[in-house]
């Protein structure tokens, strides 16, 4: 009930009936559900990553290792901000289950997945599905600021550890990054600041708003040289819409409007872009349906054999024999 209270208060202030719950028809996609016979990857962790970019803080992360991972073969990589939410076994996304299913059917390449939480001081609580850490971690500063400090966390602090522990390809075309809300703008900023390390961006209800100047991105994109990025944007018409309780409207705090501005700017510059607008509120309900297709589209150009006699290519991508 608490998450819906702002909607009720705003509606009451404007003398309107509360809006209907537009999230109720988003249902968990088949590919987000465990399927019999599909090899299950391993979630390793939690691990702790001390930060030099944000002194005194640390990041907790987990690593998904698919059953098909072969340490002798360079593999792809996908990193999710607000990792706890993307990997929650009863959550809206269940990214590790989706990756299990899509890798098995060769719809995405074999890849390592990393679920990383926002930074926090040791005495601060670890984010959870009910508390993503906006008020009691470094999330707001790290994710919403338009600078390269969080990119340093991912590229300069996390990646060397991952390269040490796993055979991850150094090809930036094989590196993806994603998130929801502030985690989405953080993912975009990492790729924007470090396109030689990350080329694929998955964004859900991205906070390209004036939390810390994120609404400036469309103008920045138009004025900058085009970068080699592939971006998939998802948002809903019932996201936070910049309507204050007193009836005033602030377009810089309108999530849906600013996501559409991002789409228009990226499209005008000729970026490799896909987007989907639904009616979800601010959250991840639409990803129940959309996340598997986002992953297919972002990773659509992974290697393929057209040899009709290649029965390995024509079969399921089974677990690697140990």
Structure tokens at 303: 């290697």
Residue in 265, 269, 187 with CA at minimum distance from that of residue 226 = 269
- 299 CA to centre of own chain: 14
Say what the pLDDT of residue 303 is: 86
> What was the pLDDT predicted at 7?
47
Query: Alpha-carbon distance 242 to 256, whole Å?
Result: 9
Q: How far is CA 204 from CA 26, 47, 111, 234, 309, in A?
A: 14, 26, 21, 5, 40
User: What is residue 1's predicted lDDT score, i.e. its pLDDT?
Assistant: 36
User: Quick one: which of 152, 158, 165, 116 has its CA closest to 137?
Assistant: 116
Whole-number pLDDT of residue 18: 65
pLDDT at 50: 98
Q: Which residue has the tokens 């991002």?
A: 262
Q: Annotate 185-216 with DSSP letters as a single string.
A: HHHHHHHHH-TTT--EEEEES---STTTTGGG
Whole-number pLDDT of residue 20: 85
So where are the chain's domains?
33-298
Q: Which of 41, 55, 58, 298 is nearest to 161 (CA)?
A: 58
CA-closest candidate to residue 173, choices 74, 31, 305, 263: 74
Correct CATH for 33-298 of 3.10.20.90, 3.30.465.10, 3.30.70.360, 3.40.50.1820: 3.40.50.1820
Q: What is the pLDDT along the chain (322 residues), one digit of tens a residue?
A: 344 444 444 444 444 556 789 999 999 999 999 999 999 999 999 999 999 999 999 999 999 999 999 999 999 999 999 999 999 999 999 999 999 999 999 999 999 999 999 999 999 999 999 999 999 999 999 999 999 999 999 999 999 999 999 999 999 999 999 999 999 999 999 999 999 999 999 999 999 999 999 999 999 999 999 999 999 999 999 999 999 999 999 999 999 999 999 999 999 999 999 999 999 999 999 999 999 999 999 999 998 889 999 998 999 999 987 6
Instruction: Give the pLDDT score at 14.
Output: 47
Q: CB burial class (10 A; 0-12, 13-18, 19+) of residue 31?
A: buried
């Amino acid at each position: 009930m608490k998450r819906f209270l702002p909607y009720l208060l705003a509606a009451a202030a404007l003398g309107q009936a509360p809006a209907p719950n537009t999230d109720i028809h988003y249902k968990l996609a088949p590919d987000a559900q465990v399927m019999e016979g599909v090899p299950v990857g391993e979630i390793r962790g939690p691990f702790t990553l001390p930060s030099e970019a944000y002194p005194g803080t640390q990041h907790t992360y987990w690593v998904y290792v698919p059953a098909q991972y072969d340490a002798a073969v360079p593999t792809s990589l996908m990193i999710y901000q607000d990792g706890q939410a993307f990997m929650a076994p009863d959550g809206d996304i269940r990214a590790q289950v989706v990756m299990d299913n899509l890798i098995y059917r060769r719809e995405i390449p074999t890849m390592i997945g990393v679920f990383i939480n926002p930074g926090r001081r040791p005495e601060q609580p670890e984010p959870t599905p009910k508390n993503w850490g906006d008020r009691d971690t470094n999330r707001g500063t790290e994710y919403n600021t338009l600078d390269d400090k969080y990119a340093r966390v991912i590229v300069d602090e996390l990646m060397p550890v991952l390269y040490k522990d796993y055979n991850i390809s150094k090809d930036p075309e094989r590196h993806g990054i994603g998130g929801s809300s502030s985690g989405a703008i953080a993912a975009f900023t990492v790729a924007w600041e470090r396109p030689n390390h990350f080329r694929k961006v998955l964004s859900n209800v991205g906070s390209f708003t004036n939390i810390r100047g994120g609404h400036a991105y469309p103008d920045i994109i138009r004025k900058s040289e085009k970068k080699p990025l592939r971006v998939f944007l998802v948002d809903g018409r019932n996201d936070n819409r910049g309507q204050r309780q007193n009836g005033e409207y602030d377009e810089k705090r309108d999530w849906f409007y600013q996501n559409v501005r991002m789409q228009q700017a990226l499209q005008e510059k000729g970026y490799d872009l896909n987007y989907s607008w639904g009616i979800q509120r601010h959250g991840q309900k639409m990803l129940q349906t959309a996340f598997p297709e986002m992953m297919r589209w972002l990773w659509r150009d992974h290697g393929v054999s057209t040899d009709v006699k290649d029965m390995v290519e024509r079969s399921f991508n089974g677990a690697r024999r140990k």
